[in-house]
Structure 1
């Protein structure tokens, strides 16, 4: 019997064939890449690739093929080959030659020929990244919204011819001196810089609209940044009243991707030159920028919560310096940073005279006089003393009354009725709270109900409410003023406006609705609570909240604060001396070597990573390293402080630290330059 020969092993041959075909295909692609015909003019594109690695945070040179010569314009979006994969990027500029000695890779494709990154905004993103020790890709994410192809295909109709009434603008600014000179300087094409303390009961959106109109009359653009969308709506309505329809755009996150990109393109194309928006609007590509305005710069909504954590005020001041624009830093209150601008002579003051302020508002503190104490001995101890009831009752005869309370909810915290020990959850040790009058105590952290809670210190089962929220406050006022409508504005139920009729509006700070014609009276409750925070800006922030609420009164209205009459912040409120209070705070900061007299940065992360970062940090000679301080989440934080003049050197050192750590693939640390709070 003849044995059958074995079948040949075809698998190794197949593998060799596949490898050979792949090698040939790769060689063909490489040959085609080298054979790409470069553009005749400026064949090198410098591209900012969207890679969030600090050591790769620089433009890279790519070859512009002839087919893309007309579409790969500076500012457009492109796709390039980077580290073995296709990534997005922006063309920063086109040049004739490259400093790179090797062969340049060609652009993969032009995503869109729309130049969305203007040279001015590109320079601003670089300056902001340097200032906050971040990467340009992170700043570009804040500056340029995501592309929407449908919106990009639509045209941006030009704005109608503006009609500006400078006499009306000067009349509106009367009382805030030298407001008329500021307007005239803007209308003449100048770049004045001012810090504006608005008087109470001032229609500040209208005054801002007039400054934009004066800038617009000189053929230049204006950019206004406000804390939230309600303020955007007010300024937008004022711009329509002053300039008419079709002259401005409003940029907020609530617009949606299509509408936001459409409005962004209208600005980028030069069809609109007046912009109002929230913090992201600070990067809007306004052409021929002549004025930047930031309103209420102390509001924490102006602080970007994403890396590199820039602040709207600092972005706008940087932009004004780069583009030669005027500056207006306004608000009812005044931050220490704004006061430092005045102290250094960088800006001039716009303010109302004392006589006008006295006519606009009358502020008092409950129990401040001996007569009030004789009438109500508990005026300084009661949460809502008799004087507050009288103020509310008197105000309701003329219109709505605003009652500000600093906490949301019903009873946001509980304590033992006997020994005052804070009530904690038995499951996770979180704080217990009440959501309503018939609800059992519930943990604010894990949501566990604890109807049988007993004090671990004394065993008592009774509970007391050291702090009441706006819902409980509204409930108690509803019992005292049974025939009066009670409205709440807080949390996710924020009202924008209320009518000019007798009613009580209970609101938390920042959620106060605007009353038609102003409030007849404003009552500030629990003023001790915002003063109890352990923070660098405690008193400054408390005064800002009170002043913003008190400024909503009608001209001649009354404001009553319930608190310690001797506290400096309440005394500043009574005198409406926001400028003097800011100057006092600035002097104390200078003496203590705290911002804005110095520059600070925090380095936060795992303890080992923070230690390594401090070892690698080449800080300036005058730098002080404070810490480390352990944080509740297991991380630690170090504070680095330098004199203000060495701030750029500190930012450069932190930037280099991030590059070194990124190149070595070390554990990440979070770097924040000049954090809004510690």
Structure 2
């Protein structure tokens, strides 16, 4: 009791501090070299900072008690930013990282901080994956840490503790099946089964067979003793390929990587791929980095889909990552889709890949009949005024509903997403932020599409009128109007809020936004492609290419012309994309687009980067960038997207082929210089931007 009283006196804090200091001094200080690992005591670590000026490796000491687990590729935790003061290391925050190498000595002359913790002994960062991520980061002027966040999923300890199943026996080479419809199809499968690396741009025939054809290509690759990777734009197409692979290969040979699996299940499947338990991986955008062992084939379906471009920095595109992997690992490539992108046409034009397409007789046999209605005809048509369908489209739908469902593609979602004055046609704008007003339904007040404020007493600021007219009609309003025109027919909608995977073969009207079209059992009896002007009039270099891709994706779900399948497209018949749809000639359209791009020196013939930010920030970055010789600067020009009262500009930088790496390096160096100068305003840098207005 007395000792407790003495300890509680005024001298207690000093005594406790002395004891703590004595104990601290007695502990081994591994950062000064004590008790390091005897063999390769230095670990080179990639610290997960994601800052351009810190895009490098840092050396740390390996404590003796971590020597066995601290192997290249494992996750670790390190203290970053600490200082040495009077022989003691102070400050610094703990950050995650990856060991990329064990070394005998460090290039750094000062004392090394020790590894704080080995988070897991699982080597998730393989040398092949590290090289790929470094290449992707350099190509897109980004950091290795940012790319690794896309490539390696978050750790889940329980999934990591579970053993992966042993590899299943490899399958036999499959029969060509529906690949026989393509003159070079069986030859392509034979090359894969022989262990070769063929490269092809595949123009898939309309109809439901493409998932089975991808599955056969994967099976042929596995039969040749190599792995395969399939990347698709959405979960519905991934599910179709997964089902086709299950039917052809059975279980144990492939893993599906999808975001909706949940973190544990997705990481468990990713580990099965990394450990070599499965030889094939199928998934959406994030699967482009899946660590498939001995990669022999990379398949990218619908490479023109915008979902293949990652919205997170440094914005890599699945197609470009696939081409980089193929070149690095000696793998085959299959860029497939109902449409052909300009990038695919360039690969064929340069001889890097070969075309894989059916002959014209086969195309005519399986494609639906395509008919056109001009926007002018629709404006003059009384039926179009009542039911929003031209007479030809209305008649086609009525006849087709006798035998099956009818697909109606509407480019815009919502009810009435764009409104204007009924007298002077001035766009209806919000009083608070000048954003566009839209109608969510017929019985609720108007709301701003930007700030969400309700507008109950709108009037035109130009002429004072209180009347409104629809500039653009959305999918829900279309469904409402067609429900009145066909009162006894079920109406189903598929869009962002609720995407249908499939619909039965019974008569129904299926209203869908582009990309959300469900598959119909036995195919649609007809398809109506409305408001073609909304797709073709977009102020973008890819407007025609994108419109054709969306139309072909919908038309491919329709029955062949011999079975009565008909597609009606409401657009100017002389438009190049409409003519390509009528002829079902996506490769010809892509080749013509490529020829025009070459004359204008636009991508993919050239390499381009976009700089977006405030006028001062863009000018500042341009001033610091040492562009390659012969580079062109287009702009800057004002672009929409800023907050109210804020100006946003965009500049495009264009270089000749072969100078893309120099452009990316120059932009990265300029951004690091801005960080060193502590310039506050950011600039969004994007290499190979999808949209070029």
Q: Which residue of 1 is the match for residue 438 of structure 2?
A: 433
Whether the 8 Å CA contact 2:232–2:285 is kept in 1: the answer is yes
Alpha-carbon distance between aligned partners in 1 of 2:649 and 2:434, rounded to the nearest angstrom: 22
Q: Which residue of 2 is the match for residue 677 of structure 1?
A: 691
Alpha-carbon distance between aligned partners in 2 of 1:234 and 1:338, rounded to the nearest angstrom: 24
Whether the 8 Å CA contact 1:44–1:64 is kept in 2: the answer is yes
Alpha-carbon distance between aligned partners in 1 of 2:33 and 2:630, rounded to the nearest angstrom: 55
| Matched residue SS, 1:272 | coil
Whether the 8 Å CA contact 1:367–1:380 is kept in 2: the answer is no
Deviation of the 1:19 alpha carbon: 8.4
Q: Deviations over 1:202-225 (max 9, x none)?
A: 421111111000001111111111
TM-score (norm 2): 0.91
Q: Which residue of 1 is the match for residue 80 of structure 2?
A: 82
Deviates more, 1:31-40 or 1:376-385: 376-385
Alpha-carbon distance between aligned partners in 2 of 1:178 and 1:273, rounded to the nearest angstrom: 25
Q: Which residue of 2 is the match for residue 237 of structure 1?
A: 243
Q: 1:536 to 1:22 in 2, by over 3 A?
A: farther
Q: Deviations over 1:179-221 (max 9, x none)?
A: 1111111100011111001111142111111100000111111
Deviation of the 1:608 alpha carbon: 2.9
| Matched residue SS, 1:637 | strand
Alpha-carbon distance between aligned partners in 2 of 1:609 and 1:366, rounded to the nearest angstrom: 48
Deviation of the 1:123 alpha carbon: 0.5
Deviates more, 1:429-438 or 1:188-197: 429-438
Alpha-carbon distance between aligned partners in 2 of 1:601 and 1:447, rounded to the nearest angstrom: 33
Deviates more, 1:279-288 or 1:612-621: 612-621
Q: 1:658 to 1:452 in 2, by over 3 A?
A: closer
Structure 1 unaligned regions, length at least 5: 1-9
Structure 1 segment 528-677 matched on structure 2, within 5 A:
528-556=533-561, 557-632=565-640, 633=642, 634=646, 635-667=648-680, 668-677=682-691
Q: Which residue of 2 is the match for residue 413 of structure 1?
A: 418
1:44 to 42, 45, 49: 42
Alignment pair present for 1:94 and 2:91: no
Q: 1:643 to 1:477 in 2, by over 3 A?
A: same
Whether the 8 Å CA contact 2:632–2:655 is kept in 1: the answer is yes
Deviation of the 1:97 alpha carbon: 3.0
1:197 to 203, 226, 233: 203
Deviation of the 1:164 alpha carbon: 3.2
Q: Output the aligned Cα RMSD.
A: 2.4
Alpha-carbon distance between aligned partners in 1 of 2:521 and 2:439, rounded to the nearest angstrom: 34
Q: Deviations over 1:615-638 (max 9, x none)?
A: 221211111122222344133322
Deviates more, 1:141-150 or 1:667-676: 667-676
Whether the 8 Å CA contact 2:28–2:34 is kept in 1: the answer is no
Q: Which residue of 2 is the match for residue 150 of structure 1?
A: 158
Structure 2 unaligned regions, length at least 5: 1-8, 82-91
| Matched residue SS, 2:355 | strand
Whether the 8 Å CA contact 1:209–1:242 is kept in 2: the answer is yes
Alpha-carbon distance between aligned partners in 2 of 1:110 and 1:304, rounded to the nearest angstrom: 30
Whether the 8 Å CA contact 1:365–1:565 is kept in 2: the answer is no
Deviation of the 1:95 alpha carbon: 2.8
Alpha-carbon distance between aligned partners in 2 of 1:24 and 1:641, rounded to the nearest angstrom: 64
Q: Deviations over 1:13-52 (max 9, x none)?
A: 9999898778767765674532433333332221111112
Alignment pair present for 1:444 and 2:449: yes
Alignment pair present for 1:393 and 2:398: yes
Deviates more, 1:112-121 or 1:469-478: 469-478
Alpha-carbon distance between aligned partners in 1 of 2:542 and 2:649, rounded to the nearest angstrom: 22
Whether the 8 Å CA contact 1:373–1:379 is kept in 2: the answer is no
Alpha-carbon distance between aligned partners in 2 of 1:320 and 1:487, rounded to the nearest angstrom: 42
Alpha-carbon distance between aligned partners in 2 of 1:28 and 1:672, rounded to the nearest angstrom: 53
Whether the 8 Å CA contact 1:225–1:295 is kept in 2: the answer is yes
Deviation of the 1:555 alpha carbon: 2.8
Whether the 8 Å CA contact 2:530–2:570 is kept in 1: the answer is yes
2:355 to 322, 335, 349: 349
Q: Which residue of 2 is the match for residue 5 of structure 1?
A: none
Q: 1:429 to 1:77 in 2, by over 3 A?
A: same
Whether the 8 Å CA contact 1:75–1:118 is kept in 2: the answer is yes
Q: Which residue of 1 is the match for residue 253 of structure 2?
A: 247
Q: Which residue of 1 is the match for residue 87 of structure 2?
A: none
Alpha-carbon distance between aligned partners in 2 of 1:184 and 1:592, rounded to the nearest angstrom: 40
| Matched residue SS, 1:267 | helix
Q: Deviations over 1:202-257 (max 9, x none)?
A: 42111111100000111111111101111111110011011112221111111111
Deviation of the 1:414 alpha carbon: 1.5
1:63 to 61, 64, 86: 61
Whether the 8 Å CA contact 1:223–1:292 is kept in 2: the answer is yes
Q: 1:630 to 1:18 in 2, by over 3 A?
A: farther
Q: Which residue of 1 is the match for residue 52 of structure 2?
A: 54
| Matched residue SS, 1:365 | strand
1:271 to 277, 281, 299: 277
| Matched residue SS, 1:419 | coil
Deviation of the 1:277 alpha carbon: 0.7
> What is the total number of aligned residue pairs between the two structures?
663
Deviation of the 1:492 alpha carbon: 1.2
TM-score (norm 1): 0.93
Alpha-carbon distance between aligned partners in 1 of 2:33 and 2:458, rounded to the nearest angstrom: 79
Whether the 8 Å CA contact 1:454–1:461 is kept in 2: the answer is yes
| Matched residue SS, 2:201 | strand
